[in-house]
Amino acid sequence: MRSLTICCALLFALPAAAQDPTLVAHYKLDEALGATSLAESSGQGSPATPVNSVRLGQPGADAGTGTSADFNLSGDGHATFPDGANLTNLRNDLTVSAWINPESYGAEWPTRILSNDSSSWACGIMNGSMTVSGLRFTTLGIQDYDLAGVLPPLDEWTHLAFVMDASNDVTFYMNGVNVGMVSGSSPSNAPSPNWVIGGLRVNTTPHEYFDGKIDDLQVYAGSLTGEDIAFLFANPGATLSGSGAGNGYCFGDGGGTPCPCGNSSSVGGCANGTGVGATLTSSGQASLSTDTLVLSGAGLIPSQPGLYFQGNNAVNAGSGNNFGDGLRCAGGGVIRLQVRFASGTGDSATTISVSSAGMTAAGDVKRYQLWYRDPVSSPCGTQFNLSNGVEVTWGA
């Protein structure tokens, strides 16, 4: 039976126009049993730490999503990660997506998929012991957005979506279908220092822990459309927009293979002559039918050329190997896609059909990278460098 992806598409309406959706947090929850850190794959946020009864390496929603994490209600299982620039301003106009497989609806209180620990917002399920049962999105201290009578089934995977738009209304989706909307009047409060996967209020009561499996949790700045959510449901493991049609990996931050001459960077690949690394992101849909994927580079050397290329493999298990001033992250069956010159501000983007140039097929997992020149101020003296990598799963 098809897995249920809970996509909490929450769009925060600040006093500004709605933004184009950008993936700002992605927890695949693919770690093996016994792992002590849960990777954040968008490159925008921080890893999460599993706490108490969390069983990793469990069967996932679909082959495309990998494995899942099982959060045990009786053992207060959850995972935490710190607030950061990627989430701290998400008060409305945002989207959260995940696959869930609940084992129960909890006991006395709702069960939460993702929440800020004691402020901002949270999304999850209202259980049958409450006045109503169904789906709930909460702006903590402001409003409970309750959609009564809509519950994901127990013991099977389902896809949900909660969308809070720039007008502070929340639309709920299940398995890619709009199942209702609840109106609101205000964005959420500012977040507390910690976010929680699989719970709410871990240091005070009531805790509101999730009971069951969660897989492929995604958070977007900006509102996904019904078409976007249907795409996520139909293509498990895929992502959308901004840094979001793919997942960043192989960064030059020292978390994997060290940069060649100590030239680490907190963003993108290894640092170039500008003092920071070049960042590769993707936007649009990695779909053969819509064919809107664009690869974009930032933090490049102004007016210098760069080669966008595709590979089949993540080099060195995704940590990369030293190459020039940077790390080679994509390899195996390499295809040159397009050479683009950076603008005066160090930006460039592809203008071709990536799927056609890369000869991709539905279900393919491809890795992308940008190899660029740094002829004057090369930190290691090789006069070239590379961005981080991006991994994309192609849909039909």
Q: What is the CATH number of the domain that holds 133?
A: 2.60.120.200
Q: Does 202 lie in the same domain as 93?
A: yes
Pick 325 or 286 by higher pLDDT: 325
| Confidence (pLDDT) at 131 | 66
Q: Would you say 242 and 253 are in contact if contact means Cβ atoms under 8 Å apart?
A: no
The whole-chain average pLDDT of the chain stands at 87
pLDDT in tens, 194-239: 999 998 877 776 678 899 999 999 999 889 989 889 888 888 888 7
Among 174, 205, 234, which residue terminates a domain?
234
Can you tell me the mean pLDDT for 40-45? 81
Among 43, 29, 27, which residue's Cα sits nearest to residue 250?
43
Instruction: Note the pLDDT of residue 85.
Output: 87
Same domain assignment for residues 166 and 133: yes
Q: Is 240 within the bounds of a domain?
A: no
Same domain, yes or no: 227 and 256: no
3-state secondary structure of 264: coil
Q: How confident is the model at residue 107 (pLDDT cuts 50, 70, 90)?
A: low
User: How would you class 325 by CB atoms within 10 Å of its CB: exposed for 0-12, middle for 13-18, buried for 19 or more?
Assistant: buried
- Confidence at residue 293, expressed as pLDDT on a 0 to 100 scale: 86
* Per-residue pLDDT band at 108 (split at 50, 70, 90): low
Q: Domain end: 175, 207, 234, which one?
A: 234
Q: Which of 192, 210, 234 delimits the end of a domain? A: 234
pLDDT tens for each residue of 353-363: 999 999 999 88
Same domain, 48 and 196: yes
Residue 242 domain flag: no
255 and 228 housed in the same domain: no
Same-domain status, 299 and 322: yes
Domain of residue 38, residue span: 4-234
Determine the pLDDT at residue 73. 64
Tell whether 359 and 301 lie within a shared domain. Answer: yes
Please state the domain count of the chain.
2
CA 96, 186, 202: angle at the middle one, nearest 5? 50
Looking at the fold, whether 54 and 119 belong to one and the same domain comes out as yes
Q: With respect to residue 364, please indicate whether it lies within any of the assigned structural domains.
A: yes
pTM: 0.62
| 376 belongs to a structural domain | yes
Residue 19 backbone phi and psi in degrees, to 5: -100, 160
Residue 358 lies in a domain: yes
Tell me if 220 is assigned to some domain. yes
Let me know whether 225 and 348 are in one domain.
Answer: no
pLDDT score recorded for residue 197: 95
- Of 370, 369, 379, the C-alpha closest to 342 is 370
Please indicate, yes or no, if residue 134 is contained in any of the structural domains: yes
SS3 228: helix
Segment 162-191 shows an average pLDDT of 95
> Residue type for 374, please?
D
Q: What mean pLDDT do residues 20-39 have?
A: 88
CB 311 within 8 A of CB 321: no
Same domain? For 107 and 189 the reply is yes
CA geometry: angle 9, 15, 18, nearest 5 deg: 40
**Quick one: pLDDT at residue 135?**
94
239 domain residue, yes or no: no
Q: In the prediction, which pLDDT does 79 show? A: 93
To the nearest 5 percent, what fractions of the chain are helix, strand and coil? 5, 40, 55
Q: Which long-range contacts (CB under 8 A, 24 or more apart) does 139-143 make?
A: 139/184, 139/186, 139/187, 139/188, 139/189, 140/115, 140/116, 140/188, 140/189, 141/189, 142/186, 142/188, 142/189, 143/184, 143/185, 143/186
Q: For the ranges 21-30, 281-290, 350-359, which has the lowest average pLDDT? A: 281-290
Please, what is the end-to-end C-alpha distance for the chain in angstroms?
20
The two three-digit tokens of residue 321, written as one number: 């190997």
In this prediction, residues 174-197 reach a mean pLDDT of 94
Does one domain contain both 336 and 383? yes
- Kindly report the CATH number assigned to the domain that includes residue 383: 2.60.40.10
Same domain membership, residue 269 and residue 163? no
